[in-house]
Amino acid sequence: MREQFYSYIQALQDRICAGLEAVDGKATFQEDLWERPEGGGGRTRVIENGSVFEKGGVNISAVHGKLPESMQAYLKVEDADFFACGLSLVIHPKNPMVPTTHANWRYFELYDNNGNITKSWFGGGQDLTPYYLFEEDAKHFHQVCKTACDKHSKDFYPTYKKRCDDYFWNAHRNEARGIGGLFFDYLTPEDDFSSQDWYNFVTEVGDSFLEAYVPIVNKRKDLVYTPEQRDWQEIRRGRYVEFNLVHDKGTLFGLRTNGRIESILMSLPSHVQWKYNHHPEPGSKEAQLIEVLEHPKDWI
């Protein structure tokens, strides 16, 4: 399974990068290959200063070795070897009418002293963080997510949509990071679903990403915006940074396993603001967004 899934994310990285480059029309992804001293490595691809995308990364990695003690405690396991691979992406567009997006699909294995797998699971999802709310965009993104889920179980979309709302919650701000999507973790083999079944589901979601995001980008990328709207985008990016550095499990895992810092922090935007005690004008488009972030809604 580890070879099968790693081959998949290598091909998916190629497809997503090609799809986003076609949308941008100017910038291309720059590739950076790296190795982890303890075992494994990755292929980081970053796009910057494009006509559409200000900064973005589409990274894959496959790392292995001894599980650090901090992660043993976090995962509630004893001394073990591990293998983890995944694709992680964050795209920050230039135009504030185009939403930021994030996605991740990953696979994890733990081994005993004889090299036998003791535990394995999949995780991941995809989500949308708009700066200005277009309800038709939210509905489109969630409908693509639901369609992918429904092919495997009618229960998946409502379950993983709710988990996404719960996970991407900036508790210290009492608001969501964005308008959600899907989030799933610890998808382990059991009676109803084998590892291959979970693989089929996770890759179905991965394959749906460009369909979920690119039509939104194409619809909004040429809209006119003001300097004030750009300021709002950068203020909201500050909340995005706060979540990633305070709450995000992927960031935490990377930092605790001596991950490559440039790849871990590629999710941070180039231009961001923190304004003291900032609140949007009541009744404004900005206030409309905050209302949805404070009270996540069902889009389907």
Cα 221 from Cα 64, distance rounded (Å): 40
Give the model's confidence band at 249: pLDDT under 50 very low, under 70 low, under 90 confident, else very high: confident
Q: What is the pLDDT of residue 288?
A: 97
In a domain, 93, yes or no: yes
Distances (CA, A) of 80 to 10, 65, 73, 86: 26, 9, 12, 20
In a domain, 92, yes or no: yes
Sheet arrangement for strand 81-93: 30-35, 40-48, 53-66, 81-93, 100-111, 117-129, 180-187
Cα 251 from Cα 265, distance rounded (Å): 8
Chain-centre distance for alpha carbon 282: 31
Give the model's confidence band at 72: pLDDT under 50 very low, under 70 low, under 90 confident, else very high: confident
Q: How many residues does the chain have?
A: 300
pLDDT in tens, 79-102: 789 999 999 999 999 999 999 999
Using the predicted structure, report yes or no on whether residue 118 has a pLDDT greater than 80.
Answer: yes
Q: What CATH number is attached to the domain comprising 31?
A: 3.40.1500.10
Read off the pLDDT of each residue in 213-239 and give the average, rounded to a whole number.
Answer: 98
The residue among 160 and 249 whose pLDDT is bigger is 160
Classify the C-alpha dihedral 270-274-279-281 as positive or negative. Answer: negative
Give the model's confidence band at 106: pLDDT under 50 very low, under 70 low, under 90 confident, else very high: very high
The residue among 13 and 248 whose pLDDT is bigger is 13
Catalytic residue IDs: 102
Cα 160 from Cα 145, distance rounded (Å): 10
Give the model's confidence band at 257: pLDDT under 50 very low, under 70 low, under 90 confident, else very high: confident
For the chain, what is the radius of gyration of the CA atoms?
19
Q: How many domains does the chain have?
A: 1
In a domain, 300, yes or no: no
Query: Domain containing 153: what range?
Result: 2-294
Using the predicted structure, report yes or no on whether residue 76 has a pLDDT greater than 80.
Answer: no
Cα 194 from Cα 170, distance rounded (Å): 34
In a domain, 51, yes or no: yes
Using the predicted structure, report yes or no on whether residue 191 has a pLDDT greater than 80.
Answer: no
Cα 294 from Cα 300, distance rounded (Å): 18
* Mean pLDDT across the chain: 94
pLDDT in tens, 25-41: 999 999 999 998 889 99
Share of the chain above pLDDT 90, in %: 83
SS3 151: coil
pTM of the model: 0.94
In a domain, 299, yes or no: no
Q: What is the pLDDT of residue 94?
A: 98
In a domain, 10, yes or no: yes
Closest by CA position to 110, among listed 94, 98, 99, 121: 121
- Distance between first and last Cα of the chain: 33
Quick one: tokens of 55? 């900064």
